[in-house]
Structure formats: structure tokens, C-alpha cells
A and B are shown apart, each in its own frame.
Chain A
Amino acid sequence: MALLNFLKPKNKLEEGGRSSVPVHQDDGEPEITCPNCRKEIPVSRLWANHMVCSCGYHQRMKARQRIQLLTDKDSFTELLTGLHTKDPLAFEGYQEKLETVRTVSGEEEGVLCGTARIGRQDCCLFVMESEFMMGSMGTVVGEKITSLFEYATAHRLPVVGYTVSGGARMQEGLLSLMQMAKTSAAVKRHSDAGLLYIAVLTDPTTGGVTASFAMEADIILAEPGATVGFAGARVVEQTTRKALPKGFQTAEFVLQHGFIDRITPRKDQRALLSTLLKLHNGG
């Protein structure tokens, strides 16, 4: 199911960030062109390598595949399922869009939340889903993240969070914007309780998510090459009418400017998270 979803063209569904990756299927196995090295890679090989090309380029990854890669076998228990938006603004075309996105992504909303073990370390985990309106934050995403931090505070658990987001979801207007304040307040309570929060920023992490829980972690990791920023690059270009510096708003750029702790390739994340969780749990 997930594989089929991945193969479906999704250009219309993307909102911001880079354009979707074209999938070619001539005779044999479907292939994907790497946006970095332009080589065509069979889908199965990309999957086996957790969506990382041999050139090192980290492609986007579905949230469930990521959870499978990260967590100890059968340790993920999903929480906060069945939540869906009331379309509070009755925004033109939003219901139809949601239906399409649900079908294509196979998910109910833009984030998965639960408890898990990573290298035998207990934690709460959230992973955002790029295929769901580019992980935009509306009331459901805000409610799920907030509830997860509250759960983690009540159960004295660390939180590991994978972000991918175009920002606040326009179709829920001010209610989306308020989720930035709501999630931030829950992160603050978790932090004030002396608990650890590690964020892993993946491509792209922008807008209202960067300006809230993505940047509020004790330790902030990022995937190589991920776009990390507040304003969209095109908006910055239009506003300033200046050429953007090389590598603007990449993980490497924000590392250099002091806003994240480390860049960690996908294959090393599980081990690093496990070590960090253990270190903060009495060693």
C-alpha cells in the first residue's frame, strides 16, 4: 500500500518545498531520478537504502517507513489517532483537498505520534508526514503535538520529533497560527519538568514549524542537505531583490550560523538518538 502511494504522481498536492520526484517506469522496475546526481535509481534499491541515494542525497521518506527504520521492532504504539479537522473556516476547496491527500498519503493527518523504544530507550516520538499537505500544521497537527508533549510530561518521557513542514496550514487560518503558541507552551512545560526533547529537522522544515517546536528542542539535529528556514527562499529573493548566498537555508547553512547542533546522516540517526537518550537517562 505504502509503496503504491509513493509511486503515485503527487505534483498537485505539494505545497511549497521542492517539486516532487519524477518516477519513471519503462520496462522493468520503476526508477527514480536523484535530484542531486541525476542518476536513475531503481525504487527497491532506494528503499533498501532508506531513501538515500549512493551520492548521499537524502530523499524524503514516509513517516511510517521512518518509524520502522528508527524504532525497536514492534515497539511503536501509535497514540492520538482518529483526529480530523472540522474545517473551521469552511475554506474553499479544503475538504476536497483533504480527501485526496488522505488517499494519496494513506494517512489521516500530517503527523504520527506515539510511544516507542529507540535502541532500548523509551521515548515519545512524533514524525511528520511530507505527503500530507507537506506536513503543514493545522489544528490536528497542533493538537497531536501538544497532547504528545503533555503525555510525555505526565509520564516523564523524553520526546524525539522529526519535522518536515511547509509551515502553518493556510486553510485553517488563525487557528493554525495559534497552534504555534499552543505547541510551544506544551514544549516549555515539558522542558521545565527537566525532560529531554530532541528534534530532527528533515527536508523541508520551514515557516511556522521552524518558528515553533522545531527550534525549541534541547538538541537539534538535521539531515544532510535538508532545507531549514523561516521564510521561503523565493519570498526572500523577492523581498530583498538580492541573489541568495550559496547553500542558503540548508542544514549546513543553519549549522554554520549556530542554530542546530549536528547534521546526522539517516543511517546514523538511530544509534545517535539511542546514545543521547541513554546519556540523559542516567547513562
Chain B
Amino acid sequence: MSQNPYDKVKLARDSSRPTGVDYIKNLFKNFIELHGDRRYGDDAAVVGGVAYLNGKPVTVIAIEKGHNPKQRALRNSGAPNPEGYRKALRLMKQAEKFGRPVVCLIDTSGAYCGIGAEERGQGQAIAENLMEMSTLCVPVVSILIGEGGSGGALALAVADRVWMLENAIYSVISPEGCASILWKDSAKAETAAANLKLTAQDAKSFGIIERILSENDLGKPDFYDRIRVMLSEELDALSQDPDLLQKRYDRFRRIGADVNNEPIKGM
């Protein structure tokens, strides 16, 4: 807790941290990857499929950054294109059809800022996920395992429960981007990181996430065992909740609903 927020940013981006695929391998059994968005292509930055969690079928979707340069090139460093978000939505709709819960593992600096991404409707793809996830009739738990970069992360995080790793971050904009826009100086990223309140502890204090996951034994069997137990219990409880969708609506509805309501002086 003595770290400054920008140290957390660096930790969250550390390429030696477990990535989405590591979590898939260690949390689930019999993962079968399913490819493609059925619209345009298959985005390697998003890995999705079906698997078992403690003996029960689930749909798993992860944003994968890769650990080394070769993997990062293949995964576009975890910056999805629209087809990645559309693949994720296709798999969520499939999960809904077959009544199995969805687990999303999020680690991205943000949706890819490319020419093709714009041509193929990056904004529309994210918007559609936000809309459709809000009424998806099966439980959704999203875990931010590293970077939670803006709309590109939120597009997989309209969930019943959102958890964050102790050193993960979740932010509306990168600290560098914020510094360059506000102060025309990307070197002020540290100041921006402090201002943006992007740590897991901040997100919890704002009521934006439910749980902070300890990084003790990060990447070791005990670490994954703990998360598997928590996930399994949470999905069981959510599966029995008759008010799931109303609660999901309310979960987001209350955020920022406490705006002041009185005339502004001088207006």
C-alpha cells in the first residue's frame, strides 16, 4: 500500500505477470477454444471458449497480451479489434443459449486504435457489448488481471461481479494519455496516475468492484486454487438469484447517481 499509483501501473503492465491464457490453463479444465466472430475474422487478442470450472460448464473469454515479443505480436499486445469484441459477444450469447455462466479475464491497455479498427466500427462493437451484456440472462463475473484500459476493458466488464487483482489498474484513459491531453506532457504520467484514482483500492472505494484479489503466490497453484474456489462459489450463488438482471442494472445505475441536485450559484 506504500506504492504510489504509478508503481501500480508499472506492475500491472509487467510482462511477467500471468496473462489471460495462464489463468485459463490454471483455473479451468478441458478448455476448448472457439474461434471467430462469424462476421469478419478471428482476433487473437481475445481468446474464448468453453471449459469446466469445478466440474461445471462455463464460457471463458480472456484478453491475452502475451509474455514475449513474439506472443505480443501475435496477440496485438492485447489490444482487441472490433472482431475481438464481436467474438466475445458471440460466445456470451452462446453461453446464454446453453445456460452456462460467463467468466471474463481482462488485461488490455485498451481497444486497438487502428485504421482497420475504425473502419470496422470499434465504437459500435464496444457499444453493442455494453448494451447486450446488460441483459445477458446468465451470471457474468469479470476479473481485471492486469490493465483495465477504458472502453476496451469495460466491453467485457458489464458483469454481476467485477474483481481486480491487487496490483491491477482500471482507468478511463492511460496516465500517459491523460497527461499529454491535460498538461501537454506525457512525462507527467505519475501525476495523472495519482489523479485518475486507477488502483484496485480506489475502484473498490467507489463501489465499482466488489473484491480485490490478493497476489500472494501470484501464478502459483495456491493462487489459482483460491481464485477457483471464489469463482465457483460466486457463480453458484449468482445462478440461483432470481433478480440477477435487475441487480446488474442497479449495480451500474447507482454509479454517479449521487450527483448534487441543487442550483449552481450564479446560474
The yes or no answer to B126 lying at the interface (CB within 8 A) is yes
With contacts A185-B134, A185-B252 taken as known, whether A85 is within 8 angstroms of B259 at the C-beta atoms is yes
Segment touching A, from B195-203, B210-218, B232-240 = B195-203
Q: Is the interface of A mostly helix, strand, loop or mixed?
A: helix
With contacts A178-B255, A215-B127 taken as known, whether A184 is within 8 angstroms of B134 at the C-beta atoms is yes
CB–CB B127/A213 < 8 A: yes
CB–CB B151/A211 < 8 A: yes
Question: Contacting B253 at CB < 8 Å: which of A93, A185, A258?
Answer: A185
Contacts of B203 in A (CB 8 A): 174
With contacts A142-B256, A174-B172, A245-B115 taken as known, whether A92 is within 8 angstroms of B195 at the C-beta atoms is yes
Distance in Å from the Cβ of A215 to the closest Cβ of chain B? Answer: 4
Q: Within the assembled complex, what's the spacing in Å between the Cα atoms of A191 and B158? A: 18
With contacts A84-B259, A84-B264 taken as known, whether A231 is within 8 angstroms of B117 at the C-beta atoms is yes
Segment touching B, from A37-45, A60-68, A234-242 = A234-242
CB–CB A83/B172 < 8 A: no
Give the most central of A192, A215, A258: most B CB within 10 Å: A215
Distance in Å from the Cβ of A82 to the closest Cβ of chain B? Answer: 5
With contacts A231-B118, A244-B115 taken as known, whether A143 is within 8 angstroms of B182 at the C-beta atoms is no
CB–CB A215/B124 < 8 A: yes
Q: Within the assembled complex, what's the spacing in Å between the Cα atoms of A181 and B255? A: 10
Q: Considering the complex, which residues of chain A in the window 156-172 have a beta carbon less than 8 Å from any beta carbon of chain B?
A: 168-170, 172
Question: Contacting A230 at CB < 8 Å: which of B111, B158, B260?
Answer: B111
With contacts A108-B267, A244-B115 taken as known, whether A170 is within 8 angstroms of B131 at the C-beta atoms is no
Contacts of A202 in B (CB 8 A): none
CB–CB B191/A92 < 8 A: yes
The yes or no answer to A216 lying at the interface (CB within 8 A) is yes
The yes or no answer to B244 lying at the interface (CB within 8 A) is no
Q: Which residue of A lies closest to B256 (CB)?
A: A139
Q: Within the assembled complex, what's the spacing in Å between the Cα atoms of A95 and B191? A: 17
Contacts of A146 in B (CB 8 A): 253
Q: Considering the complex, which residues of chain A in the window 172-210 have a beta carbon less than 8 Å from any beta carbon of chain B?
A: 172-182, 184-189, 191-192, 206-208, 210
The yes or no answer to A56 lying at the interface (CB within 8 A) is no
The yes or no answer to B4 lying at the interface (CB within 8 A) is no
CB–CB B130/A212 < 8 A: yes
Contacts of B151 in A (CB 8 A): 168, 177, 180, 207-208, 211-212, 230
Per-residue contact bits, chain B 154-179, to A (CB 8 Å; 1 contact, 0 not): 11011000000000001111000110
CB–CB B123/A229 < 8 A: yes
Distance in Å from the Cβ of B203 to the closest Cβ of chain A? Answer: 6
Give the most central of B118, B255, B267: most A CB within 10 Å: B118
Question: Contacting A188 at CB < 8 Å: which of B134, B172, B256?
Answer: B134
CB–CB B195/A208 < 8 A: no
Q: Within the assembled complex, what's the spacing in Å between the Cα atoms of A236 and B81? A: 13
The yes or no answer to B69 lying at the interface (CB within 8 A) is no
Q: Which residue of B lies closest to A92 (CB)?
A: B195
With contacts A180-B154, A212-B127 taken as known, whether A16 is within 8 angstroms of B171 at the C-beta atoms is no
Contacts of A83 in B (CB 8 A): 259-261
The yes or no answer to A130 lying at the interface (CB within 8 A) is no
CB–CB B127/A216 < 8 A: yes
CB–CB A184/B131 < 8 A: yes
The yes or no answer to B119 lying at the interface (CB within 8 A) is yes
Question: Contacting A257 at CB < 8 Å: which of B121, B178, B182?
Answer: B121
CB–CB A173/B196 < 8 A: yes
CB–CB A188/B121 < 8 A: no
CB–CB A178/B259 < 8 A: no
The yes or no answer to B262 lying at the interface (CB within 8 A) is yes
Contacts of A254 in B (CB 8 A): 121
Q: Which residue of A lies closest to B130 (CB)?
A: A184
CB–CB B197/A89 < 8 A: yes
Q: Which residue of A lies closest to B177 (CB)?
A: A235
Subset of 12 A-B contacts with CB under 8 Å: A82-B262, A84-B260, A143-B257, A172-B172, A174-B170, A174-B172, A185-B134, A185-B135, A211-B126, A211-B130, A231-B118, A232-B113
Known: A188-B132, A248-B118. 13 other contacts (CB 8 A): A92-B191, A93-B182, A139-B257, A170-B196, A174-B171, A176-B172, A182-B255, A185-B134, A208-B150, A208-B151, A214-B123, A239-B112, A244-B115
